[in-house]
């Protein structure tokens, strides 16, 4: 041990001889050694200093409270899960260890996963059209994986505020839907202490009713019929709710969600979807494109954005068989498939589910005056667009999303022809293609290992 101490002392003395000359002044070699020592020391201390700085900075920032846009109604607020005050990093000394440098916000329940969906740029469509086409990924809502999550939460919250629903009382929510709203309602119902009873047309994709059953909903599939028929799926849901409430042997009461006429639908989008788009684009967009089933999305977003962006164009994407295109373009609610002897189905003559309708709803009417134009999209165009998105973007989406993107591409080409190449167009990706396997995607076919089969111009030429 003594010999080691002597060697260490000798090494230390020789080191300081290099650092200081015989007059006690710092030598060039000494300065280099001191610099290395200080650098290594600061490197070890820097993460702690940075974390301390970020904690102090975080305390000076806003607490993330909600701020309404100018003129925006104070209505149902969805959970905000974009506020992140923490940063996770891998420990350099131990890669298996994750270091959290601040407090991580924890969301509450499935409701915390609704809203604040990302806005993504679609590269292939943007490059093909010369305009920037952005899509709000509403299929990433975390309850039912569609924009109907917002509607379901809004309807339920409003009914609770009105005293129409009471959690864990035995109340059941009834709704007539082709799928997405029912799926969102089933998920949110379970989270909030209710049961769901869904009535849907028997020709809707079977995977939707299968999913509803897995979510604990009661499902009635009924023969497609006109809205004037008392056994039409929406009318049946209303009647079932009334029967529940009138039956003293059943617990709680029945509540008819009424997504087509309940204005909590469009208000959900006016208060959340529209403001999110405004924030995500920093108020810089030229066109908003969306389809309409209930009409809640297009009306709500238009009502939120038009007062802030008077030059914004709102464009309806309408599938074949729907009468809304003619209502916007010509003021008459009519589809050529209404002609006697030409209709193939009892509702809207299209393979597309979720959008398209032949009557005016309260939700569509709320924002109809703000819609500037409409684009008619054929089933063939929608199916080709679905394949294009898989091949070019790796996105597997449902029928209504494909209709939206065909319309967005048509609008982009028109704007390019007008010399507005740098226009920004926003639309909606509604749900995943997983819900459309047995119907829309069965007809669209398998992509397999194929390369891109057609150009965008070939898709649009099918209109």
- Known catalytic residues? 148
What CA–CA distance (Å, rounded) separates 269 from 354?
17
For 419-442, give one letter per residue: b (16+ CB within 10 A) or e. eeeebbbbbbbbbbbebbbebbbe
Looking at the DSSP assignment, which residues form a beta bridge with residue 28? none
In the three-class reduction of DSSP (H, G, I as helix; E, B as strand; rest coil), residue 65 is classed as: coil
Rounded CA gap, 347 and 390, in Å? 29
Q: Which of 234, 236, 186 is nearest to 208 (CA)?
A: 186
If you write DSSP's letter for every residue of 20-62 in order, what string do you get?
A: B-TTSPBPHHHHHHHHHHHHHHHHHHHHHHHHHHHHHHHHHS-
Angle made by CA atoms 299, 301, 303, in degrees to the nearest 5: 65
Q: What is the 3-state secondary structure (H, E, C) of 345-357?
A: CCCCCCCCCCCCC
Count of alpha carbons within 13 angstroms of residue 454, beta-carbon side: 17
DSSP character at residue 273: I
- 121: tokens are 């740029």
């Amino acid at each position: 041990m003594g010999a080691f101490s002597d060697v260490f002392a000798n090494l230390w003395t020789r080191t300081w001889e290099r650092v200081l000359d015989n007059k006690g002044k710092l030598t060039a070699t000494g300065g280099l050694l001191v610099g290395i020592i200080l650098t290594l020391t600061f490197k070890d201390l820097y993460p702690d200093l940075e974390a301390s700085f970020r904690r102090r900075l975080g305390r000076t920032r806003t607490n993330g409270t909600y701020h309404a846009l100018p003129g925006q109604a104070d209505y149902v607020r969805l959970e905000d899960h974009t506020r992140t005050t923490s940063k996770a990093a891998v420990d350099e000394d131990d890669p298996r260890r994750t270091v959290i440098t601040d407090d991580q916000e924890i969301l509450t329940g499935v409701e915390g996963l609704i809203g604040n969906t990302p806005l993504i740029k679609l590269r292939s469509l943007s490059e093909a059209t010369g305009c920037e086409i952005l899509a709000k990924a509403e299929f990433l809502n975390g309850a039912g994986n569609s924009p109907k999550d917002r509607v379901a939460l809004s309807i339920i919250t409003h009914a609770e505020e009105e005293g129409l629903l009471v959690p864990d009382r035995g109340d059941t929510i009834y709704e007539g839907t082709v799928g997405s709203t029912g799926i969102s309602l089933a998920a949110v119902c379970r989270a909030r202490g209710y049961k769901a009873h869904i009535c849907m047309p028997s020709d809707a994709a079977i995977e939707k009713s299968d999913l509803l059953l897995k979510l604990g909903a009661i499902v009635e599939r009924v023969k497609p019929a006109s809205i004037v028929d008392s056994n039409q799926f929406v009318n049946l849901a209303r009647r079932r709710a009334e029967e529940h409430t009138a039956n003293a042997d059943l617990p709680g009461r029945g509540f008819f969600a009424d997504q087509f006429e309940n204005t909590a639908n469009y208000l959900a989008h006016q208060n959340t979807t529209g403001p999110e788009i405004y924030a995500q684009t920093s108020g810089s967009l030229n066109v908003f494109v969306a389809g309409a089933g209930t009409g809640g999305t297009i009306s709500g977003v238009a009502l939120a954005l038009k007062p802030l962006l008077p030059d914004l164009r709102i464009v309806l994407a309408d599938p074949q068989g729907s009468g809304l295109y003619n209502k916007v373009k010509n003021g008459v609610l009519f589809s050529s498939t209404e002609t006697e002897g030409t209709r193939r189905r009892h509702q809207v003559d299209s393979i597309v589910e979720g959008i398209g309708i032949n009557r005016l709803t309260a939700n569509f009417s709320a924002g109809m005056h703000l819609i500037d134009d409409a684009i008619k999209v054929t089933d063939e165009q929608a199916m080709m667009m679905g394949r294009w998105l898989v091949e070019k973007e790796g996105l597997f989406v449902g029928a209504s999303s494909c209709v939206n993107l065909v319309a967005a591409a048509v609008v982009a080409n028109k704007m390019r022809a007008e010399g507005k190449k740098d226009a920004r167009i926003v639309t909606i990706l509604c749900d995943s293609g997983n819900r459309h396997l047995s119907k829309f995607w069965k007809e669209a076919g398998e992509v397999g290992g194929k390369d891109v089969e057609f150009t965008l111009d070939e898709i649009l030429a099918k209109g």
